[in-house]
Amino acid sequence: MPLGNSSAPPQTKFNLLQVKGTWVRQSEDDQVTEGKLSDAKIYEKKSHHGVSWTVVSPIVFTYKVIQCENLLDPRNDTLFWGHLDNEDLNNTSFAKPQPVKRFVVIDETVHQLYGARVREYFDTRQVVYKILPLPTTEENKSLELVIKILQEVHDFNIDRRSEPIIAIGGGVCLDVVGLAASLYRRRTPYIRVPTTLLAYVDASVGAKTGVNFAGGKNKLGSYVPPVATFLDRSFFQTLPPRQLSNGMAEILKMALMKHRGLFELLEAQGSQMLDSKLQSSDAASACTCIAIETMLEELAPNLWEDDLDRLVDFGHLISPQLEMKVLPALLHGEAVNIDMCFMVYVSHLRGLLTAEEKGRIIRCMQGLHLPLWHQDCTLDLIHRSLSERLKHSGGSPRMPLPTGLGQAEIFHDMIEEDILCQAHQMWTSELSSYSK
């Protein structure tokens, strides 16, 4: 029963105070004179059935997202100590007589490109390290891969407090390593180094980890943020064009949901940014910064997803089932864009977007070289996806939809069947020739 209900048994609130290393309960009415007061509380309730205790313990997690250049330059301290504050650096617990150790999981393709530079970085600093190259693809994103990482970490024997695991690669690599770190000794710190544009603006800055299971995308996972994410756009220089477009889908998502200026930047210069691989231009810098800032604005107040009304879920209503159905034909961002494109038609038919706005969004997607339609995104798949979404959202529809360029709302009503059918028919009629 809620507090304050006259029919509820009386409940006593206790603070927790640490005195000389021992935690003790203290009635709320008692005055604290010495010791360390915790933010946690214990509520005790007695009734004729017995005694119950309710523990309220806030979780506070601090992590850094750092944009930098030349991350793998041995003269750059970021990869080595960037996850620590000055206070931590001065802490004697880090001034160990033995060499510092680092365990690195790196995508095998990234290893071919950058493995020598990673080794040079740690050799120069006399670090004892282990580099584990793995095939981190959506098809291999499994618990078996997590177990392989855990066995290697165990054999290498890192200090779980001061020697974070480093993940270098795309979103799959970051997700898998994050889950492994959350499991090893119940939580070991880890660092994310994204090497794809998609991971740079999406997977690297949040708290989610996960692997695929039972045919479902990210069915197993946890909410454990990295201690730090290090962002370096120079990795994009070795990305193929398709991977760059793939990442632009998540940037476009944030633009459509909450930043008209970002949309107009993508609309005007998206194609040029792709051609330059987002290197050394004010537009590329602004584009990635705004994408990160808007993403963090949405994630930080809801890091554990206690609130299921999330603007960042736009493009993720239909895409998980579509992506898994056609795997590996579509990359994640491509599936997200197909989902977004269909929902733009839904928004238009609901009167939320004008025909001009719809047209501008479609042309922007084309300029970013993203797929607009897919033959396997059938009306039946859409129905099943929305039904699955409803099942896992507390029984209430939660539909983020654009209501203009750079603005959106979350709708809690089901999409009308005639709107759904009409949108699919119009979408297919107008854009089926643009499928990849």
Q: 106: which residues sit within 8 A by CB, 6+ positions away?
A: 114, 115, 118, 131, 132, 133, 134, 167, 168, 169, 173
Q: How far is Cα 11 from Cα 28, in angstroms, rounded to an integer? A: 12
Q: Give the residue among 251, 298, 258 at the shortest CA–CA distance from 406.
A: 258
The CA R_g of the chain, rounded to the nearest whole Å, is 24
Query: 3-state class of 73 per DSSP?
Result: coil
Show the tokens assigned to 90. Answer: 């001065």
Show the tokens assigned to 75. Answer: 């003269």
Measured CA angle at 135 (ends 132, 139), to 5 deg = 145
Residue holding tokens 């960042």? 312
Query: Using omega within 30 degrees of 0 as the cis cutoff, is the peptide bond preceding 58 cis?
Result: no
Cβ atoms of 250 and 202 closer than 8 Å: yes
Q: How far is Cα 96 from Cα 336, in angstroms, rounded to an integer? A: 47
Q: Phi first, then psi: what are they for 219, rounded to 5°?
A: -70, -25
Q: Which residue in 208, 217, 258, 325 is the catalytic one?
A: 208
Query: 3-state class of 194 per DSSP?
Result: strand
Q: 193: which residues sit within 8 A by CB, 6+ positions away?
A: 71, 79, 166, 167, 168, 169, 229, 230, 232
Q: Give yes or no: 208 in active site.
A: yes
Q: What is the DSSP string of 355-415?
A: HHHHHHHHHHHHHTT-----TT--HHHHHHHHHHHHHTTTTS--EEEEEETTEEEEE-SPP
Biggest CA pair distance of the chain: 74
User: Could you list the active site residues?
Assistant: 208
